[in-house]
Amino acid sequence: MSKPRIRVLIVDDSAVVRQALSEVLSADPGIEVIGTASDPFVAAERMREQVPDVITLDIEMPRMDGLTFLQKIMRQHPIPVVICSTLAEEGAQSTLKALEYGAVDIIAKPRLGTKQFFEESSMILCQAVKAAAAARLRNPSHEVEPKLTADVILPRAKSAMLETTEKVVVIGASTGGTEALRALLEVLPADAPGIAIVQHMPEVFTRAFANRLDSLCQISVKEAESNDTVLRGRALIAPGNHHLLLKRSGARYYVEIKDGPLVSRHRPSVDVLFRSAARYAGQNAVGVILTGMGDDGASGMLEMKQAGAATIAQDEATSVVFGMPNEAIKRGAVDAILPLPAIAGSMLARAR
């Protein structure tokens, strides 16, 4: 018996965007677009006729903005929502608010640029909808392209670099990860080990996300730039649409920002960060894999474990989507499976 298709309602005030999103999603055999709406009032009418499995939602719309509509949905009839937004710096903070209000993910609207860019955007859009359909909502597959491995960015090394005494933490997250990262980083002390993070998120939004975390946490949090030093009391978040690698010069850890193809269907990719940690930090690294759809990070975490690193996965009960942690667990890459509130303490203990 075939698996039922995911029913999607597209809500956007631009007819061009509605058509583009509809064409992209309808091309995936696992997805059915059941309707489009130019604003939340029209969307409400559509939902009375047929309840979707997932809604894609713009933020800026006439008559009622997307955030207000999102809050109404989550109070009255919770449905997984993917925010589909333009890459506008000035709108990034309000878009991030949507994650606090219960949206599952943020993606960028596909841009009609190069063929490769449109194909990548289409793949990310379909993945986000599938992840949303599988998500466990908080109160408050079809293979489109071959999946590249971290080899395209950083070839596998025969061994890790010689040991240093400084410890470093690397964290990977996807669907549901923004709130998981907030919960994890907020409880860390000001002298916590240096941290490098990959959160699947579009460019522009990663800077706003880092700034938001920086205002909430005792540690400092910033969007990573090439050659930033990984310091105690600081977390560096991969900029959207760029890979993040951990490197080492002597006893100093630093990060490198790299372009390149999608790895495990993502850019930034957790696999790339974790492989670099296996090579350059080895047993001085602690790897943490949080909630997310798919398997990005599972191979990289296994390489970390084989290099002597400590590895932790978020458990199913506290994950919005248990895909990424579960894949790492199934590959034997994980030392400890913990609920989200217990991860910070375990991470600090293993980094001592």
Tens-digit pLDDT profile for residues 117-153: 567 888 889 999 999 999 988 655 334 455 677 777 7
Q: Tens digit of pLDDT for each residue in 84-113?
A: 887 556 668 778 888 888 999 998 877 665
| Catalytic-residue membership of 266 | no
In the structure encoding, which two tokens stand for residue 262, read together? Answer: 């999608």
Count: domains in the chain: 2
Q: What is the mean pLDDT of residues 197-226?
A: 94
Is residue 50 over pLDDT 70? Answer: yes
Does 332 share its domain with 190? yes
Structure confidence by residue, pLDDT tens digits, 229-270:
999 999 999 999 999 999 999 889 999 999 999 999 899 999
Pair (318, 188) in one structural domain:
yes
Look at residue 1 and tell me if it is in a domain: no
Query: What local confidence, expressed as pLDDT, does residue 88 receive?
Result: 58
The distance of Cα 282 from the centroid of its chain, to the nearest Å, equals 24
170 neighbors 229 (Cβ within 8 angstroms): no
Q: Is 151 part of any domain?
A: no
Q: Which domain holds residue 64?
A: 6-134
Q: If you search the block for the tokens 């009609």, which residue do you land on?
A: 112
Q: Is the pLDDT of residue 20 over 70?
A: yes
| Residue among 122, 174, 276, 299 flagged as catalytic | 174
Identify whether 174 is a catalytic site residue: yes
For residues 178 and 82, state if they share a domain: no
What CATH code is carried by the domain that includes residue 100?
3.40.50.2300
Q: Quick one: pLDDT band at residue 2, thresholds 50, 70, 90?
A: confident
- So what's the pLDDT on residue 150? 78
Q: Is 271 one of the catalytic residues?
A: no
Q: What residues pair up with 266 in beta bridges, in sequence order?
A: 263
Phi/psi at 251 (5° precision): -95, 0
Active-site option among 264, 296, 315, 319: 296
User: Residue 210 pLDDT > 50, yes or no?
Assistant: yes
CB 58 within 8 A of CB 13: yes
How much is the pTM?
A: 0.84
Instruction: Say how far apart CA 254 and CA 53 lie, in whole Å.
Output: 42
Sheet holding 194-199, edge to edge: 220-223, 234-237, 194-199, 168-173, 285-289, 310-314, 336-338
Residues 38 and 107 in one domain: yes
Residues 34 and 125 reside in one and the same domain? yes
pLDDT score at 348 = 96
What pLDDT score was predicted for residue 159?
55
CATH number at residue 346: 3.40.50.180
Q: Is residue 269 part of a domain?
A: yes
Listed range (28-42, 82-96, 300-314, 318-332) with the worst mean pLDDT: 82-96
Q: What is the pLDDT of residue 60?
A: 85
- Considering the domain architecture, whether residues 183 and 305 belong to the same structural domain is answered as yes
Residues 45, 190 within the same domain:
no
Do 165 and 196 fall within a single domain?
A: yes
Do both 91 and 195 map to the same domain? no
Residue 141, pLDDT score: 36
**pLDDT beyond 50 at 5:** yes
